[in-house]
């Protein structure tokens, strides 16, 4: 049965596109945004003028946040101020190119930095903690996990994210693509 | 000097070259991520003038021998920040790490990057930098416990996984654990001696049995010329007698050990439940409480079985093995040696089988867990499943997990029947060797072998194999038991974060409340209360307004001392909250919160919970004040209506009214109403409010509310916004100010206007 999607018109998502958003860098290399959007209130006490006509304005430093960090990492990226208030969404990274895109991608890479495990050398269980020795795409690493089963998040059938005692995340893109020995070591927690 | 990390000589030398001498440093710490996102050694120091950060790699030069090597620090990036130009040194969090930044000459600048492993240290770096800017000095006393040595296991130099408890799971001493457990057994030392004695007897008798029933029966009774030739009745009596005695002793032994083990486990549980009661809220919010209870129970059971079943069996088997070996060696050393040929093979097969089975069981367990969680999930959410008509999908999911679970179970069964048959065969092989060698000896008439001896020997061989499979398994069982023991002691050892003062003040408080520059966060970097100060004179009413998540309930948690503030102080009658005895606090402060919790039991019991000695009249009075009397009296059992399981389920508003009655009965000097009337319809709220007004008169009351109308009677209002307190004053003053409160007021007024009500 065909679903009616007429609710989509009820609210409008504010999208940032190359036409209304220019990303550049601050003096120290942080992402900065100039956008053609309705005037942003500088602080909450300012009277809401009710004027929604867009103007070009320098919003200064901005932050990025993925709406679907696993399912759709390149799409629906929220652009916010430092308090987390949203200026707008980027529908797809591919709409941008050149320097702007580079800036966004670099910042996202920093924020979502997660070592990808390619090989599990050893897992030792001791008194409720497990000690892991692994190879990641950026060198070998060792970490400890508490309550291993609960801290092993199954994103999908094959994708797994481990969270260690400090809160660091490690990702396995495809557990079935691991070598047999590595797979056996993690199999128990799946 | 605060050394979160003591630098190695090459790093000290590097900073020296940059003009920063070691004795100038006020603090030093390490991070693990470069600003380019690569894992690096990052070193940071703070001096009186600046923050200096060096990124690079530690390498070694020279001989392969560790002692002769020279360490070299290769710097890839170095930066300095003059403290006088730094503003607002802070941490920005990423997903799996973050960065320290500051406002430097009007621009945001990055000081250092880190992963969560170094989060705490970098936080302290920021704290110290800010402190230096503000006061010109560091409060060393407060940071003393942050020194490097305190955070690492002295043995293996790993960080403790849980900083609040200095236990390194890697180096934890098993011996200590067992010692502690044994201490619990000390009370039963006579019982235990009795148990050991009966063990020895049982084992001894078991060894005698084959001797009597094989050796004596065949060699002495059945063989012509034997010492008891023909006396079958006598030997039968002897055989039965030996069995009977051993049966009796086993029974006595079983009874005693069951009793002792059960008592010890009871002791253990008792101490643990006692500790749990004394723990701080943070302990419970960090763990799932339900899981905690199951864990305690199953762990205690694990220990029970080990000591009631495993340990006695181990002892008997050990004694038995030693005695049998001794007897066999005296009977025929050569044949004993032959028996031993197959023992290693046998032992290792067992060891391998058990590791295999452990894995299979663990997998079956995790599959079962997944399956169970799905079932409870779907059953709890049945309304949602049905309303979105997703039954089929859920059926599919169920079948998939159910299948996985069945498969895992099947695999265990199949493997078990395969391996255990094989092991049985290997065991038989051992006795075949004995049969062969012994038979050959009888035919050749060597070694003084006869039928009786051979039969006895074969019986003994079986007795050796018997304990072996147990030994192969016991190491696993033992480590499981230690694991459980550790978890129990872990809870037992948890130190409550909120401690009663050493000489606590006991007093009848008047109710002057003062928050003085309070800062609080549940979790590092997420400040919930940000420098909040206010005063509530005794007898007056304070209203707290603000958006959801502004930190209103946290203020209530702080005032009831479920948590202690990170900075600043909270005072009642001018005395710090921390100095009061728990008893005084619990007596003087009562809270009715948005999450009401009623215990299983009658309504009366629930109200009386606040004061067990309250009379029935007082209970009705309290219920009337809370507007609860009206609905309670309508139930068939009135005040003795059983709430909860199998009984009557109260609605949200009814529960709130019962819990208000509970607080009223307590008659505290300070009353906190945290959205206490939120789940009620406006009419009930009105009627309750009239009663509450009488109650809050001449009583310090703090009312937290969304609806501004709830706060009409407040003497003073404070507005919370993202943990900060931008405004305070009376409603009139705040309206005139046209700030946050005005905005909230206008919004709610507009909402009322749209439905045609004007206030």
Pick from A30, A110, A114: CB nearest B108 = A30
Pick from A45, A131, A149: CB nearest B366 = A149
Residue in A with minimal Cα distance to B98: A111
- Residue to test with chain B: of A167, A175, A189, most B Cβ within 10 A: A167
Interface contact flag, B170 A131, Cβ < 8 Å:
yes
Chain A neighbors of B39, CB-CB under 8 A: 138-139, 141
Chain B neighbors of A189, CB-CB under 8 A: 366
CB atoms within 10 A of CB B744: 18
Q: Is A16 exposed, middle or buried (CB count within 10 Å of its CB: 0-12, 13-18, 19+)?
A: buried
Q: Does B109 touch chain A (CB under 8 A)?
A: yes
| Angle, CA B518 vertex, CA B512 and CA B521 arms, to 5° | 130
C-beta of residue B723 within 8 angstroms of C-beta of residue B567: no
Q: Is B134 exposed, middle or buried (CB count within 10 Å of its CB: 0-12, 13-18, 19+)?
A: exposed
Report how far residue B240's alpha carbon sits from residue B249's, in angstroms, rounded to the nearest whole number. 14
Going along chain B from its start, the domains and CATH numbers come out as 2-151 (2.30.29.30), 513-754 (3.40.50.300)
The alpha-carbon gap from A122 to the nearest alpha carbon of chain B, in Å, equals 15
Task: Give the pLDDT score at A73.
Answer: 86
Confidence of residue A125 (pLDDT cuts 50, 70, 90): confident
Task: Give the pLDDT score at A121.
Answer: 92
The alpha-carbon gap from B26 to the nearest alpha carbon of chain A, in Å, equals 26
Pick from A30, A128, A168: CB nearest B169 = A128
Beta strand segments in B506-585, E:
513-523, 526-536, 541-546, 567-572, 575-576
Q: Does B530 touch chain A (CB under 8 A)?
A: no
DSSP B139-157: -HHHHGGGSGGGGB-TTT-
Task: Give the pLDDT score at B72.
Answer: 83
For tokens 């008659």, the residue is B667
Q: Say what the alpha-carbon torsion angle B636, B639, B645, B650 is, to the nearest 10 degrees.
A: 80
C-beta of residue B629 within 8 angstroms of C-beta of residue B688: no
Chain B neighbors of A27, CB-CB under 8 A: 107
Task: Give the pLDDT score at B747.
Answer: 77
Interface contact flag, A83 B722, Cβ < 8 Å:
yes
Cβ within 8 Å of residue B276, ≥6 positions away: B292, B491
Interface contact flag, B369 A149, Cβ < 8 Å:
yes
- Please name the helix (run of DSSP H) or strand (run of DSSP E) that holds residue B327, with its range, or none: helix B311-331
Strands B2-3 vs B27-33: parallel, antiparallel or unpaired: parallel
pTM beyond cutoff 0.80: no
Pick from A29, A113, A131: CB nearest B94 = A113
Residue in B with minimal Cα distance to A170: B96
Q: For residue B457, which of B351, B332, B574 has the smallest C-alpha distance?
A: B332
Chain B neighbors of A141, CB-CB under 8 A: 39
Interface contact flag, A139 B39, Cβ < 8 Å:
yes
Report how far residue B572's alpha carbon sits from residue B508's, in angstroms, rounded to the nearest whole number. 11
Task: Give the pLDDT score at A90.
Answer: 92
Q: Mean pLDDT over all residues of chain A?
A: 84
Task: Give the pLDDT score at B290.
Answer: 53
Residue in B with minimal Cα distance to A47: B743
Chain B neighbors of A114, CB-CB under 8 A: 95-96
Q: For residue B691, which of B733, B630, B740 has the smallest C-alpha distance?
A: B630
Task: Give the pLDDT score at B292.
Answer: 63
Q: Does B162 touch chain A (CB under 8 A)?
A: yes
List, for residues A78-110, the tens digit of each pLDDT value. Answer: 999 888 888 999 999 999 988 889 999 999 988
DSSP B594-616: SS----SEEHHHHHHTT-TT--H
The alpha-carbon gap from B365 to the nearest alpha carbon of chain A, in Å, equals 9
Q: Is A136 exposed, middle or buried (CB count within 10 Å of its CB: 0-12, 13-18, 19+)?
A: middle
The alpha-carbon gap from B598 to the nearest alpha carbon of chain A, in Å, equals 30
At A89 the three-state DSSP class reads strand
Interface contact flag, A128 B108, Cβ < 8 Å:
no
Pick from A26, A113, A127: CB nearest B107 = A26
- Residue to test with chain A: of B85, B95, B744, most A Cβ within 10 A: B95
Residue in A with minimal Cα distance to B480: A127
The alpha-carbon gap from B476 to the nearest alpha carbon of chain A, in Å, equals 13
C-beta of residue B256 within 8 angstroms of C-beta of residue B192: no
Residue in B with minimal Cα distance to A137: B38
| Per-residue CA distances from B363 to A162, B36, B294, B366 (Å) | 18, 41, 20, 5
Interface contact flag, B37 A110, Cβ < 8 Å:
yes
C-beta of residue A77 within 8 angstroms of C-beta of residue A93: yes
List, for residues B488-543, the tens digit of each pLDDT value. Answer: 777 666 666 677 777 888 888 888 888 888 888 877 767 888 888 888 888 888 88
Residue in B with minimal Cα distance to A26: B107
Interface contact flag, A113 B117, Cβ < 8 Å:
no
Report how far residue B598's alpha carbon sits from residue A152's, in angstroms, rounded to the nearest whole number. 35
Q: Does B369 touch chain A (CB under 8 A)?
A: yes
Residue in B with minimal Cα distance to A136: B39
Interface contact flag, B96 A165, Cβ < 8 Å:
no
Residue A182 has pLDDT above 50, yes or no: yes
User: For residue B513, what are the β-bridge partners?
Assistant: B536, B572
The phi, psi pair for B23, rounded to 5°, reads -80, -5
Pick from B94, B161, B487: CB nearest A144 = B161
Pick from B92, B96, B107: CB nearest A114 = B96
Interface contact flag, A127 B97, Cβ < 8 Å:
no
Report how far residue B231's alpha carbon sits from residue A97's, in angstroms, rounded to the nearest whole number. 106
- Residue to test with chain B: of A58, A127, A142, most B Cβ within 10 A: A127
Report how many Cβ contacts below 8 Å link chain A to chain B: 92
Q: Which residues of chain B have pLDDT under 50?
A: 758-759
Task: Give the pLDDT score at B759.
Answer: 45
Q: For residue A170, which of A130, A181, B364, A103 has the smallest C-alpha distance?
A: A130
Chain B neighbors of A112, CB-CB under 8 A: 94-96
Q: Does B38 touch chain A (CB under 8 A)?
A: yes
User: For residue B718, what are the β-bridge partners?
Assistant: B544, B728
| Per-residue CA distances from A155 to A76, A81, B288, B443, B550 (Å) | 19, 29, 22, 72, 32
Chain B neighbors of A138, CB-CB under 8 A: 38-39
The phi, psi pair for B322, rounded to 5°, reads -65, -45
B366, two tokens: 């995790």
Residue in B with minimal Cα distance to A189: B366
Task: Give the pLDDT score at B144.
Answer: 64
Report how far residue B534's alpha carbon sits from residue B739's, in angstroms, rounded to the nearest whole number. 18
Interface contact flag, A128 B740, Cβ < 8 Å:
no
C-beta of residue B641 within 8 angstroms of C-beta of residue B632: yes
Chain A neighbors of B483, CB-CB under 8 A: 127-128
Task: Give the pLDDT score at B168.
Answer: 65
C-beta of residue B52 within 8 angstroms of C-beta of residue B30: no
Q: Does B156 touch chain A (CB under 8 A)?
A: no
Pick from A111, A128, A166: CB nearest B119 = A166
Chain A neighbors of B107, CB-CB under 8 A: 26-28
Output B72-79 pairs: Cβ under 8 A, ≥24 positions apart: B72/B10, B73/B8, B73/B10, B73/B11, B73/B13, B73/B14, B73/B41, B75/B14, B76/B34, B76/B40, B77/B34, B77/B35, B77/B53, B78/B18, B78/B52, B78/B53, B78/B54, B79/B52, B79/B53, B79/B111
Interface contact flag, B115 A126, Cβ < 8 Å:
no
Task: Give the pLDDT score at B294.
Answer: 67
Pick from A28, A114, A141: CB nearest B95 = A114
Interface contact flag, B116 A30, Cβ < 8 Å:
no
C-beta of residue B101 within 8 angstroms of C-beta of residue B112: no
The phi, psi pair for A83, rounded to 5°, reads -85, -10
């Amino acid at each position: 049965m065909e679903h009616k999607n007429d609710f989509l018109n009820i609210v409008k998502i504010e999208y940032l596109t190359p036409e209304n958003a220019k990303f550049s860098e601050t003096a120290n290399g942080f992402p900065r945004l100039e956008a053609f959007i309705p005037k942003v209130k500088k602080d909450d006490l300012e009277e809401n003028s009710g004027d929604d006509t867009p103007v070009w304005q320098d919003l200064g430093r901005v932050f990025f946040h993925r709406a679907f960090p696993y399912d759709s990492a390149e799409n629906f990226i929220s652009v916010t101020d430092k308090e987390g208030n949203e200026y707008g969404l980027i529908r797809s990274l591919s709409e941008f190119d050149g320097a702007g895109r580079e800036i966004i991608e670099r910042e996202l890479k920093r924020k979502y930095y997660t070592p990808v495990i390619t090989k599990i050398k050893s897992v030792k269980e001791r008194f409720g903690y497990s000690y892991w020795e692994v190879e990641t795409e950026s060198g070998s690493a060792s970490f400890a996990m508490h309550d291993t089963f609960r801290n092993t998040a199954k994103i999908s059938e094959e994708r797994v994210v481990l969270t260690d005692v400090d809160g660091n995340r490690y990702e396995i893109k495809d557990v079935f693509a691991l070598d047999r020995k590595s797979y056996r070591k993690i199999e128990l927690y799946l | 000097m605060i050394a979160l990390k003591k630098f190695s000589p090459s790093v000290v030398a590097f900073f020296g070259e940059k003009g920063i001498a070691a004795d100038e440093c006020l603090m030093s710490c390490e991070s693990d991520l470069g600003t380019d996102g690569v894992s690096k050694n990052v070193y940071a120091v703070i001096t009186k003038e600046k923050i200096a950060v060096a990124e690079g790699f530690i390498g070694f030069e020279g001989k392969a021998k560790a002692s002769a090597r020279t360490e070299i620090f290769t710097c890839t990036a170095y930066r300095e920040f003059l403290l006088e130009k730094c503003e607002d040194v802070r941490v920005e969090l990423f997903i799996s790490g973050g960065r320290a930044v500051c406002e430097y000459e009007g621009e945001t600048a990055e000081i250092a990057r880190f992963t969560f492993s170094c989060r705490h240290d970098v936080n302290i770096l920021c704290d110290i930098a800010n402190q230096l800017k503000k006061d010109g000095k560091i409060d060393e006393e407060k940071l003393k416990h942050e020194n490097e040595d305190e955070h690492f296991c002295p043995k293996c130099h790993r960080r403790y996984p849980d900083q609040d408890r200095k236990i390194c799971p890697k180096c934890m001493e098993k011996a200590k654990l067992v010692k502690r457990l044994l201490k619990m057994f000390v009370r039963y030392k006579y019982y235990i001696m009795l148990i050991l004695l009966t063990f020895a007897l049982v084992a001894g008798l078991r060894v005698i049995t084959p001797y009597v029933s094989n050796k004596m029966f065949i060699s002495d009774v059945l063989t012509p010329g034997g010492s008891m030739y023909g006396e079958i009745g006598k030997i039968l009596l002897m055989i039965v007698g030996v069995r009977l005695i051993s049966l009796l002793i086993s029974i006595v032994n079983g009874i005693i050990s069951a009793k002792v083990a059960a008592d010890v486990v009871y002791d253990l549980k008792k101490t643990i439940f006692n500790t749990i009661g004394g723990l701080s809220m943070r302990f419970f919010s960090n763990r799932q409480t339900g899981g905690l209870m199951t864990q305690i129970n199953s762990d205690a059971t694990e220990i029970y079985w080990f000591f009631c079943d495993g340990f006695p069996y181990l002892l008997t088997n050990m004694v038995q093995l030693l005695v049998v070996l001794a007897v066999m060696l005296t009977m025929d050393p050569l044949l004993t040696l032959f028996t031993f040929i197959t023992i290693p093979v046998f032992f290792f097969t067992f060891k391998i089988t058990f590791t295999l089975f452990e894995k299979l069981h663990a997998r079956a367990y995790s599959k079962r867990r997944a399956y169970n969680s799905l079932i409870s999930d779907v059953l709890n959410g049945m309304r949602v499943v049905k309303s979105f008509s997703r039954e089929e999908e859920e059926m599919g999911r169920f079948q998939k997990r159910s299948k996985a679970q069945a498969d895992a179970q099947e695999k265990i069964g199949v493997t078990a029947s395969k391996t255990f048959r094989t092991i049985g065969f290997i065991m038989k092989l051992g006795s075949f060797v004995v049969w062969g060698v012994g038979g050959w000896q009888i035919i050749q008439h060597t070694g003084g072998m006869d039928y009786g001896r051979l039969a006895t020997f074969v019986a003994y061989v079986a007795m050796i194999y018997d304990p072996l499979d147990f030994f192969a398994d016991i190491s696993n069982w033992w480590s499981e038991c230690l694991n459980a023991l550790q978890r129990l002691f872990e809870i037992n050892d948890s130190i409550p974060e909120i401690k009663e003062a050493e000489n606590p003040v006991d007093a009848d408080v008047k109710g002057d409340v003062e928050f003085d520059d309070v800062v609080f966060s549940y979790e590092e970097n997420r400040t919930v209360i940000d420098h909040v100060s206010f005063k509530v004179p005794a007898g007056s009413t304070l209203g707290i307004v603000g958006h959801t998540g502004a930190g209103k309930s946290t203020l209530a948690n702080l005032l009831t001392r479920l948590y202690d503030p990170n900075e600043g102080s909270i005072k009642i009658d001018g005395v710090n909250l921390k100095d009061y005895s728990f008893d005084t606090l619990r007596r003087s402060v009562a809270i009715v919160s948005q999450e009401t919790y009623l215990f299983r039991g009658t309504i009366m019991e629930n109200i009386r919970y606040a004061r067990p000695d309250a009379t029935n009249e007082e209970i009705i009075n309290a219920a009337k004040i809370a507007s609860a009397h009206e609905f309670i009296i309508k139930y068939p059992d009135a005040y003795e209506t059983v709430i909860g399981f199998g009984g009557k389920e109260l609605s949200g508003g009814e529960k709130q009214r019962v819990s208000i009655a509970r607080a009223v009965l307590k008659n505290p000097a300070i009353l906190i109403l945290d959205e206490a009337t939120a789940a009620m319809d406006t009419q009930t709220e009105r009627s309750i409010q009239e009663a509450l007004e009488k109650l809050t008169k001449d009583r310090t009351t703090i009312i937290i509310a969304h609806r501004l109308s709830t706060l009409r009677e407040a003497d003073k209002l404070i507005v919370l916004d993202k943990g900060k307190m931008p405004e305070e004053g009376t409603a009139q003053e705040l309206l005139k100010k046209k700030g946050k409160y005005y905005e909230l007021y206008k919004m709610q007024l507009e909402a009322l206007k749209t439905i045609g009500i004007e206030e």
